[in-house]
Amino acid sequence: MKVRGDWITHPGSQALCAVLEGAGFRALFVGGCVRNDLLGVPVADIDLATDATPEIVSDIAETAGFKVVPTGIEHGTVTVVAEGRPHEVTTFRRDVETDGRRAMVAFSTRIEEDAQRRDFTMNTLYADRTGRVIDPLHGLSDLQARRVRFVGDAETRIREDYLRILRFFRFHAAYGDPEGGLDPEGLAACAAFSAGLETISRERITAELRKLLAARDPGPSVAAMARSGVLARILPGADPRALAPLVHLDQGESARWLRRLAVLGGETGHLRLSKSEARDLAALRTALGSADTPAALGWRLGEPLGTDAILARAAVLEMPLPDDWQRQVRRGAKTSFPVSAADLMPGLQGEALGARLKSLEARWLAADLTLTREELLKGA
């Protein structure tokens, strides 16, 4: 079995593997790149595993003229930029003890141990620089069946790191067999230990949720999270019902994960959203309950967020989309409210001025942005 994508022939990756091997160490591609290549989906970032310690990796890489950034030295990871491409290079590790928030690790020289500390069998595939696949735990058959299965005993693995609960649903959404459903043993363990998610940082939860909701179709995974009690731990009060209709309407356009979050509802106190995400989410939630026309939403929110709002509202209310809604959102986004404060001054000042502007704006929005400045000012 071989991986064949062009990513593996990148001169930076080849050179980095060659210098590590030249010094007598192993240098193997691992995780997402190998998995995605074998599934025929795009490879995003490059992870390497090696039996050299991080200090030795750094020395060898620097001597070869590559830039080294100690991105996760406490977990044995350094990032090596070779010919413009970053590689996360992690020393073989084994799990030793854990507080459930992060697995504690020790270095190892054995690939089997390194594979055993990984989360799912489909993530334990390695490839050398010629593309030959190394499969110490027989993860290939699970990958080919698109089965997300924990390495070892699911309950034990979850208790080492509760974030793995969310990763289970995320990897199923991204790579699982949509017909086959979730692995029953893994699902039962996630349900039994969902309370452990309370100990995971908001940053780590949000990073996983973001990736989960950005899958082409997160619907079945999120529905299973709701049934198993996992969803309520990270988004109390959320309701997954509008997600499937939204995915149908947005046709898997996954880059807009926030509108998927918006239709779930629920309290976001367990998440850490950026300022702009929090603002956009609040705007979307307001739009869900509004009677604004598509043009009005385009005007209020701009085209991308206005589009999110229309789709999210149609999914939640289970209403069809008006025929020319995209054109209308675009029209709204390009239109400016034609009246300014100067038009009403000096006759109106202060609060009265603000109130009149608001009421003119409401009239203008109700008329679907068609009234002109003159029409609005007539009788104002």
Site string for ligand ATP, 41-70 (x = CB under 6 A): ---xx-x-----------------------
From the list 153, 163, 232, the residue with the least C-alpha distance to 199 is 163
255: its two tokens: 């880059």
37 interacts with, out of Mg ion, ligand ATP, none, CB within 5 to 8 A per kind: none
Nearest approach in angstroms of CB 141 to ligand ATP is: 17
Helix residue spans in the chain (DSSP H): 11-22, 32-39, 54-63, 111-116, 140-144, 154-160, 163-175, 184-192, 202-213, 219-227, 230-234, 243-250, 257-264, 275-288, 294-301, 303-317, 325-334, 341-344, 350-366, 373-377
Whole-number Å distance between alpha carbons of 39 and 101:
30
Residues 29-48, interacting with Mg ion (CB under 5 A): 32, 45
119 interacts with, out of Mg ion, ligand ATP, none, CB within 5 to 8 A per kind: ligand ATP
Which is closer to Mg ion, CB of 45 or CB of 375? Answer: 45
Q: Is 90 in the site for Mg ion (CB under 5 A)?
A: no
Residue 106 DSSP SS3: strand
86: its two tokens: 């970053």
Only one of the segments 11-19, 50-58, 160-168, 291-299 lies at the binding site for ligand ATP (rule: CB under 6 A); that segment is 160-168
Give yes or no for a contact between 158 and 193, defined as CB atoms under 8 angstroms apart: yes
Which is closer to Mg ion, CB of 45 or CB of 361? Answer: 45
Tell me, rounded to whole angstroms, the distance of Cα 118 from its chain centroid. Answer: 20
Q: How many CB atoms lie within 10 A of CB 338?
A: 16
Q: Is 37 in the site for ligand ATP (CB under 6 A)?
A: no
Q: Is 164 in the site for ligand ATP (CB under 6 A)?
A: yes
Which is closer to ligand ATP, CB of 128 or CB of 343? Answer: 128
Q: Which of 118, 233, 260, 270 binds ligand ATP (CB under 6 A)?
A: 118
Which is closer to Mg ion, CB of 32 or CB of 196? Answer: 32
Number of residues that bind Mg ion (CB under 5 A): 2
Whole-number Å distance between alpha carbons of 5 and 348:
68
Binding site for ligand ATP (CB under 6 A): 31-32, 44-45, 47, 118-119, 123, 161, 163-164
Binding site for Mg ion (CB under 5 A): 32, 45
